[in-house]
A = this chain, B = another copy of it.
Amino acid sequence: MSKDIPLQKYGFVKRDTPRKINLDPLQTGGILTPEANQALMEWGDGYSVCDYCAGILDEIKTPPIFDFIHKALPEFLGCDQARVTNGAREAKFAIMHSICKEGDWVVMDGNAHYSSLVAAERSRLNVKLVEKTPSPEYRIDPEGYGKAIEEIKESTGNVPSMALVTYPDGSYGNLPDVKAISRIVHSYGVPLLVNGAYAIGRMPFNAKDLGADFIAGSGHKSMASCGPIGVLGVSNEYAPKVLERSKFNKNKEIESLGCTARGATIMTMIASFPSVYERTKPENWQKEIENARWFSSELENMGMRQLGDRPHNHDLMFFETPVFYEISKKADRYFLYRELKSRSIHGIKPGLTKFFKLSTFGVGRENLGMVVDAFKEIIQKYEA
């Protein structure tokens, strides 16, 4: 038996980061709604939703998991079949692992999230990246997919078994032309996986409209859910492979290992769903874009520079900030983090001053104004 474990540092731990204004791209879309907070307390116990489970998570009628997964989610995502997973990366892995064979090739955009690369690596696939254009745009040219597929075909004799595009990417918040990419990869018979971890739950999204065969989304990143939880969408064409059931137990899907997001994670996703549905309506998303553009222009007026798509079409933005870098040479590299923390503004990585990314999602014009004012004050203070 174990002994001598100092226990006093465990137990309940307070969260000491300022949470008044949070600009961390990982966090803005995952902040729980009041309904989700209520659901947490109700469904927090380990297997709480399994009270009436007859062996298949997504067929639980009470609470309404069946209706959510089989009716609301496919409609919301614009796909034939949907499932909940333990996250977007787990959805991507499940899709690659079931569709591709060891040694196959997959083509991805050069802005792909590291977890897409690791999902391919875990599936033992070869990865070819479609180059992004140079700074400051970092765009993905749809024609690059055709070129990559041709190159793979030439060197291996076969087309890749999948293409993936990140919509938008997690560095610049760029929205590539997925429809064009879909047309190109489909012309080679290659199916397309859209990683929508920063789209689904934030903005209008429809798998069929985009031409996606598979989609992955993130509950804790963009659907106001307690993590880890994600969503997987698949067309009827590919569903038999991705959702194949076990030969050992006919109730259990192989790629989900039989059961995924149970308890608090699925119930917070359901709790937040009406709000998430509302916030992704085109008119509400338009306000978020306007806020992002306004914020970007204010920062540019202070001598910073927003990279990526211009005008920008997403809340996630990357800024070059020479004005702060110059100050850091006189002060130290943590001055910006300290100054923002003292103003209860969080989300720019400690130590970054030359460039940083942030998200304006759900922060609101008033709070964004406070951030703009804070930046002005900080610049004045150190330039004085």
- List residues of chain B with CB within 8 A of the CB of A38: 12
Complex contact A48–B118 (CB within 8 A): no
- The contact of A72 among B5, B14, B87, B246, by CB within 8 Å, is B5
Complex contact A1–B206 (CB within 8 A): yes
B-contacting 9-mer, from A270-278, A292-300, A304-312, A314-322: A270-278
Bound-state CA distance A12–B115 (Å) is 31
A75 interfacial by beta-carbon distance below 8 Å: yes
Complex contact B5–A228 (CB within 8 A): no
Complex contact A46–B67 (CB within 8 A): no
Interface residue ranges of A1-41 to B (CB < 8 Å):
1-7, 9-17, 24, 26-27, 29-32, 35-41
- The contact of A10 among B64, B114, B281, by CB within 8 Å, is B64
Complex contact B37–A44 (CB within 8 A): yes
Q: Which of A63, A67, A206, A257 has the most CB of B within 10 A?
A: A257
Q: Which of A63, A78, A118, A262 has the most CB of B within 10 A?
A: A118
Complex contact B228–A228 (CB within 8 A): yes
Complex contact B220–A118 (CB within 8 A): no
Given A29-B46, A35-B12, A63-B13, A52 and B350 touching (CB < 8 A)? yes
Given A260-B228, A261-B228, A262-B228, A31 and B46 touching (CB < 8 A)? yes
Complex contact A262–B12 (CB within 8 A): no
A191 interfacial by beta-carbon distance below 8 Å: no
Bound-state CA distance A17–B43 (Å) is 11
Bound-state CA distance A72–B11 (Å) is 12
A377 interfacial by beta-carbon distance below 8 Å: no
- The contact of A44 among B32, B62, B90, by CB within 8 Å, is B32
Majority SS at the chain A contact face = loop
Give the Cβ gap from A212 to chain B, nearest Cβ, in Å.
15
Complex contact B46–A27 (CB within 8 A): yes
Complex contact A282–B115 (CB within 8 A): no
Bound-state CA distance A30–B49 (Å) is 12
Give the Cβ gap from A208 to chain B, nearest Cβ, in Å.
11
Give the Cβ gap from A85 to chain B, nearest Cβ, in Å.
9
- List residues of chain B with CB within 8 A of the CB of A119: 257
- List residues of chain B with CB within 8 A of the CB of A89: 257-259
A381 interfacial by beta-carbon distance below 8 Å: no
List 18 additional contacts besides A13-B267, A89-B257; criterion CB under 8 Å.
Answer: A4-B75, A5-B277, A10-B68, A11-B270, A24-B50, A24-B51, A26-B46, A32-B46, A41-B41, A46-B224, A47-B220, A86-B86, A87-B257, A89-B259, A118-B248, A119-B257, A121-B254, A220-B262
10 CB-based A-B contacts, threshold 8 Å:
A2-B77, A7-B72, A16-B62, A40-B41, A44-B268, A46-B220, A46-B224, A115-B259, A118-B254, A127-B248
Q: Which chain A residues have a beta carbon within 8 Å of chain B's beta carbons?
A: 1-7, 9-17, 24, 26-27, 29-32, 35-48, 50-52, 62-64, 67-68, 71-72, 75-78, 86-87, 89-90, 93, 97, 102, 114-115, 117-119, 121-122, 127, 204, 206, 218-221, 224-228, 246-249, 252, 254-255, 257-265, 267-268, 270-271, 273-274, 277, 280-282, 346, 350
9 tightest A-B contacts by CB?
A30-B46, A46-B220, A117-B248, A26-B47, A86-B86, A17-B51, A12-B35, A10-B273, A89-B257
